[in-house]
């Protein structure tokens, strides 16, 4: 391991700054304190990934319950309210607690390595982002234990389903938990994105020009911009909804002059860019994997990046295609229909570029490549049904039917999740230093591919013959049973595949019997593969000077003038910023603030509404205290002295 | 940067790819995002402004509620605070700590006057105005509004309405931004007495200034859109 070869600096007096309220964990911190206070982007990335995989299991169990309920007509595995809660929680969990944080895990771990940086621009803010995400996930799932249980409003929370007067259970707190957890998760995403944007723009190694950056890093940049521009819309929509529910405002209250339609617009102005926030990271991963396993440079590097940017840009101009049946009028509907058709073009360009990359290449079918190919084919099916929906009359037929469920699962599982699994199989050797078992990996792919198609392909047909989505049961005589049973069997197979996959990923970090990975087991192309596996604490012992795109490949096979160089070792060593308790403390303060807001109202003895903000104020005070102490403690730090020949 | 502070840790101050300090890039990205926050709020206000002009047969004329003289005054004060802020940033760049301190103080005072005006405004709007008979009318709450009194000796009736919702949440969000800015500036003001402030802090104060100017610019949009437009269209 790395520690053996590092000569540690004698403790410097200059690194001990002011006295602190919480003693700052020093250089040799290990164990649980290290993980709680770490500001290392690699550890933060791993915690992001682990938490998201845990939520993937929870969301998966919710999905399996939904599938069991639909096994046959008039089943009662779940009551209708439980069914509504289940699809709400499944959707919210999978979008905000699984796909986004899994992408964030890769952003965190890989992006600094790919641009030759020692960390992100604001390491402590990165830790705050992680803890806000954990708090958000906790808040959402705490909802099960309070009045009304978890929300039953759909992941989209359409008004007036969220109106307190229409709650099935009096004093239903589900939507409140939902609102506050989304606010926390939004904060986590925003903090991370500001950080990534600054890092990519400002912290590239010498010679790492924008057009030499790996495609995955480019997609990180584009997605970060999408997040900072799209999340404000839902943040404000949720603030307005929170005011509606808590302080009786009328934003979405149609009985008192509000317009439920406005919620849909605000939600989808966020919601459609969100679709690209979910898929672009997977596209970035696949763009890294396909060239490696085709042993060819990426075909049309510039075009792939440019179409990614165009997709991101146009993603803000197509939101109303989620609302074709709400009666927006001919002009708006036509405009959004045309723009939706246009956005298929940059997506198609990417697919042709991936095919072009493989064309004439010497393709190896290792597990990451299988997932990449699965991604392309499955995402294409989802894309084609998407183009069908851009046509307004067809959309009106498909609206709220199982066809739509099939469409977006092809994009989100066949697309995003396959892409992310591809990333895990590709990069876990880099993260853990050990190779994953190929046969087991291929088994996981086979199970997931077959299970996924068995589950979701029949849903196209079910939708066409009229099975409505978000409906907890169906009657006999519609001919829905057979295909639903196939889908339920498929979902079980998919679940087994995913579970084995997750086991394999985690096992790689603990099982010492696995084959060591070495620096570059796949003969891969980008900068992170020039480093030892697992990557050392300081990433780069000596700052690299980049000479070409695909630097790792050029170093092995390219002309001499394209080989990267290294800046000389610094006499002062590598400066590492200190760990800090304050990100965790600040996130804890925000968590208490949210709990305080959720439970601030009660009914007094005379039946009057009593508002008590004590807990909320305590939480806010803790958070503000954390921020102030954070800014006073400064980055501080210590120095590491890598040896001359270390990477 | 003094020789002492240039020691060990500071020489790691990274040379960025663009030459722009990281914190400034962060601040610009945040401000871009903040545009979307206010964009959403202002859109909500504009969408509802005409749709919900009447409720229960009563036309809402918010000119009866507004106190445009006071708001014009507080607008002027907030804009003037930007001058102090700019002077503070200029002073810290030149290393004039005393001037920085008092310009920061000026910004804090003017920001606070603006906030005080807003608190006064909110309180009075929510309470309503007394007419010659001592009855309350022209009242605006989060969820309702009251027009004129119809009968002597009775307060005007509150009716459900959206204007209060969009008005208070939009201007309240702006006020929250100003308040955060004031606390941030107070932090710098206090820091200036510790003797640690130097030109090394210039960039941080500049970021604070970027935020402050942005919040001002947002008010330049809110003031015409929310207040002045009611007198024009």
pLDDT tens column, A370-396? 999 999 999 999 999 999 999 999 999
Distance of CA B12 to the CA centre of its chain: 37
pLDDT digits (tens, 9 = 90+) for A193-207: 999 999 999 999 999
Residue A644 has pLDDT above 70, yes or no: no
How far apart CA A445 and CA A624 sit, in angstroms, is 47
Nearest to B140 by CA among B69, B68, B70, B62: B62
How far apart CA A286 and CA A372 sit, in angstroms, is 6
How far apart CA A427 and CA A521 sit, in angstroms, is 10
User: Residue B9's pLDDT is what?
Assistant: 41
How close, in Å, is residue B187 to chain A by CA atoms? Answer: 9
How far apart CA A222 and CA A372 sit, in angstroms, is 21
Q: How confident is the model at residue A300 (pLDDT cuts 50, 70, 90)?
A: very high
A583-604 average pLDDT score: 96
Q: How confident is the model at residue A520 (pLDDT cuts 50, 70, 90)?
A: very high
Q: How confident is the model at residue A132 (pLDDT cuts 50, 70, 90)?
A: very high
* Percent helix, percent strand, percent coil in chain B, to nearest 5: 70, 5, 25
Using CA coordinates, name the residue in chain A closest to B48: A258
Answer whether residue B189 is part of any domain: yes
Distance of CA B51 to the CA centre of its chain: 26
Mutate to test the interface with B, among A257, A630, A639 (most CBs of B within 10 A): A257
Instruction: State whether B162 and A231 contact (CB < 8 Å).
Output: no
Cα distance between the two ends of chain B: 55
Q: Chain A within 8 Å of B77 (Cβ-Cβ)?
A: no
Per DSSP, the three-state class of A515 is coil
Does the global pTM surpass 0.90? yes
Average predicted confidence (pLDDT) for chain B: 89
How far apart CA A601 and CA A608 sit, in angstroms, is 10
- The answer to whether the beta carbons of residues B224 and B207 sit under 8 Å apart is no
Question: How many Cβ atoms are within 10 Å of B156's Cβ, its own excluded?
Answer: 21
User: Residue A204's pLDDT is what?
Assistant: 95
- The answer to whether the beta carbons of residues A146 and A552 sit under 8 Å apart is no
User: Residue A647's pLDDT is what?
Assistant: 64
pLDDT digits (tens, 9 = 90+) for A598-623: 999 988 898 889 999 999 999 999 99
How close, in Å, is residue A351 to chain B by CA atoms? Answer: 31
Percent of chain A with pLDDT over 90: 86
Answer whether residue B124 is part of any domain: yes
Q: Which residues of A touch B20 (CB under 8 A)?
A: 202
**Burial tier of A71 (Cβ tally within 10 Å: 0-12, 13-18, 19+):** middle
Q: Which range marks the domain in which residue B192 is found?
A: 20-232
Mutate to test the interface with A, among B5, B7, B9, B44 (most CBs of A within 10 A): B9
Cα distance between the two ends of chain A: 13
**For residues B176 and B153, which has the higher predicted lDDT (pLDDT)?**
B176
| Distinct helix (H) and strand (E) counts, chain B | 6, 7
Q: Which residues of A touch B174 (CB under 8 A)?
A: none
Alpha helices by DSSP H, A301-437: 301-314, 330-358, 367-390, 392-398, 402-411, 418-432
Q: How confident is the model at residue A319 (pLDDT cuts 50, 70, 90)?
A: very high
User: Residue A364's pLDDT is what?
Assistant: 96
User: Residue A3's pLDDT is what?
Assistant: 37
User: Residue A23's pLDDT is what?
Assistant: 76
Answer whether residue B73 is part of any domain: yes
Q: What's the 3-state SS for A463-507?
A: HHCCCECCCCCCCCCCCCHHHHHHHHHHHHHHHHHHHHHHHHHHH
A266-280 average pLDDT score: 96
Instruction: State whether B17 and A240 contact (CB < 8 Å).
Output: no
In this predicted complex, what is the ipTM?
A: 0.92
Answer whether residue B2 is part of any domain: no
Instruction: State whether A228 and B16 contact (CB < 8 Å).
Output: no
Q: A329 is written with which tokens?
A: 């009028």
A562-569 average pLDDT score: 88
Answer whether residue B170 is part of any domain: yes
Q: How confident is the model at residue B147 (pLDDT cuts 50, 70, 90)?
A: confident
Q: How confident is the model at residue B145 (pLDDT cuts 50, 70, 90)?
A: confident
User: Residue A113's pLDDT is what?
Assistant: 97
Q: How confident is the model at residue A645 (pLDDT cuts 50, 70, 90)?
A: low
User: Residue A274's pLDDT is what?
Assistant: 96
- The answer to whether the beta carbons of residues B100 and B92 sit under 8 Å apart is yes
How far apart CA A540 and CA A119 sit, in angstroms, is 10
How many structural domains compose chain B?
1
Per DSSP, the three-state class of A8 is strand
How far apart CA A357 and CA A355 sit, in angstroms, is 5
Q: B10 is written with which tokens?
A: 């500071």
How far apart CA A369 and CA A476 sit, in angstroms, is 43
Answer whether residue B5 is part of any domain: no
Residue B84: CATH number of its domain = 1.20.120.80
Q: A580 is written with which tokens?
A: 């800090």
Distance of CA A610 to the CA centre of its chain: 39
Answer whether residue B12 is part of any domain: no
User: Residue B149's pLDDT is what?
Assistant: 81
Of A15, A232, A248, the CB nearest to B143: A248
* Percent helix, percent strand, percent coil in chain A, to nearest 5: 65, 5, 30
Answer whether residue B1 is part of any domain: no
How far apart CA B207 and CA A198 sit, in angstroms, is 14
pLDDT digits (tens, 9 = 90+) for B95-109: 999 999 999 999 999
């Amino acid at each position: 391991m790395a520690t053996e070869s590092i000569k540690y600096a004698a403790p410097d007096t200059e690194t001990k700054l002011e006295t602190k309220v919480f003693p700052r964990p020093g250089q040799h911190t290990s164990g649980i304190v290290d993980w709680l206070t770490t500001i290392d982007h690699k550890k933060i990335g791993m915690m992001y990934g682990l938490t998201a995989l845990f939520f993937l299991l929870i969301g998966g169990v919710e999905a399996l319950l939904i599938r069991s309920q639909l096994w046959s007509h008039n089943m009662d595995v779940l009551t209708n309210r439980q069914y509504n809660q289940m699809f709400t929680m499944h959707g919210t969990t999978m979008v905000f607690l699984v796909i986004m944080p899994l992408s964030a895990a890769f952003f965190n771990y890989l992006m600094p390595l790919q641009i030759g940086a020692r960390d992100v621009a604001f390491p402590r803010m990165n830790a705050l982002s992680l803890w806000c995400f954990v708090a958000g996930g906790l808040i959402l799932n705490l909802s099960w234990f309070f009045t009304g249980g978890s929300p039953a409003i759909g992941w989209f929370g359409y008004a007036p389903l969220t109106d307190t007067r229409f709650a099935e259970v009096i004093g239903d707190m589900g939507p409140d938990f939902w609102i506050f957890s989304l606010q926390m998760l939004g904060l986590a995403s925003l903090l991370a994105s500001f950080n990534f944007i600054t890092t990519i723009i400002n912290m590239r190694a010498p010679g790492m020009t924008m057009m030499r950056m790996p495609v995955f890093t480019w997609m990180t940049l584009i997605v970060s911009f999408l997040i900072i521009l799209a999340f404000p819309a839902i943040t404000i929509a949720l603030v307005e909804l929170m005011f509606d529910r808590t302080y009786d405002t009328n934003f979405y209250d149609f009985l008192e002059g509000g317009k439920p339609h406005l919620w849909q617009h605000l939600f989808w102005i966020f919601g459609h860019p969100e679709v690209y926030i979910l898929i672009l990271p997977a596209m970035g991963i696949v763009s890294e994997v396909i060239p490696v396993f085709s042993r060819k440079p990426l075909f049309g590097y510039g075009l792939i990046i440019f179409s990614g940017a165009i997709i991101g840009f146009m993603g803000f101009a197509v939101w109303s295609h989620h609302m074709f049946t709400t009666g927006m009028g001919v002009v708006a509907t036509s405009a959004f229909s045309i723009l939706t058709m246009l956005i298929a073009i940059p997506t198609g360009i990417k697919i042709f570029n991936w095919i072009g990359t493989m064309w004439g290449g010497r393709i190896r079918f290792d597990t990451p490549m299988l997932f990449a190919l699965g991604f392309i084919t499955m995402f294409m099916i989802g894309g084609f049904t998407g183009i069908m929906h851009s046509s307004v009359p067809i959309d009106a037929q498909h609206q709220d039917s199982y066809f739509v469920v099939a469409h977006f699962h092809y994009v989100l599982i066949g697309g995003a999740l396959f892409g992310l699994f591809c990333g895990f199989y590709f990069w876990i050797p880099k993260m853990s230093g050990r190779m994953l078992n190929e046969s087991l990996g291929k088994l996981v792919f086979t199970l997931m591919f077959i299970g996924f198609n068995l589950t979701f392909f029949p849903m196209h047909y079910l939708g066409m013959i009229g099975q409505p989505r978000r409906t907890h049961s169906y009657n006999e005589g519609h001919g829905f049973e057979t295909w639903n049973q196939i889908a339920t069997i498929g979902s079980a197979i998919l679940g087994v595949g995913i579970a084995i996959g997750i086991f394999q990923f985690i096992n790689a970090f603990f099982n010492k019997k696995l084959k060591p990975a070495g620096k570059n087991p796949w003969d891969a192309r980008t900068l992170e593969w020039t480093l030892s596996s697992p990557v050392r604490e300081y990433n780069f012992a000596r700052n690299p000077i980049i000479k070409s795109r695909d630097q790792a490949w050029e170093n092995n096979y390219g002309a001499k003038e394209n080989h990267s160089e290294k800046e000389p070792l610094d006499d002062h060593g590598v400066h590492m910023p200190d760990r800090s308790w304050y990100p965790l403390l600040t996130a804890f303060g925000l968590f208490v603030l949210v709990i305080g807001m959720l439970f601030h109202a009660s009914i007094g003895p005379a039946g009057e509404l009593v508002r008590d903000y004590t807990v909320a104020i305590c939480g806010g005070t803790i958070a503000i205290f954390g921020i102030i102490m954070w800014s006073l403690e400064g980055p501080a730090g210590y120095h590491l002295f890598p040896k001359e020949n270390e990477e | 940067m003094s020789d002492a502070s240039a020691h060990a840790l500071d020489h790691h101050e990274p040379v960025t790819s663009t030459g722009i300090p990281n914190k400034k890039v962060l601040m610009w990205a945040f401000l871009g995002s903040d545009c979307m926050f206010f964009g959403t709020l202002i859109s909500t206000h504009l969408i509802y402004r005409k749709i919900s002009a009447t409720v229960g047969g009563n036309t809402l004329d918010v000119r009866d509620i507004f106190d445009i003289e006071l708001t014009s005054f507080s607008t002027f004060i907030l804009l003037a605070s930007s001058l102090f802020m700019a002077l503070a940033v200029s002073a810290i760049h030149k290393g004039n700590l005393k001037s920085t301190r008092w310009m920061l103080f000026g910004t804090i005072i003017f920001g606070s006057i603006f906030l005080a005006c807003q608190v006064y405004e909110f309180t009075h709007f929510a309470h309503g105005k007394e007419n010659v008979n001592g009855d309350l009318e022209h009242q605006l709450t989060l969820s309702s509004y009251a027009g004129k009194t119809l009968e002597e000796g009775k307060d005007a009736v509150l009716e459900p309405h959206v204007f209060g919702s969009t008005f208070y949440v939009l201007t309240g969000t702006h006020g929250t931004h100003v308040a955060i800015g004031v606390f941030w500036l107070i932090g710098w003001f206090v820091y200036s007495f510790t003797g640690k402030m130097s030109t090394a802090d210039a960039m941080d104060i500049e970021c604070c200034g970027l935020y402050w100017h942005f919040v001002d610019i947002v008010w330049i949009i809110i003031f015409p859109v929310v207040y002045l437009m009611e007198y024009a269209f």
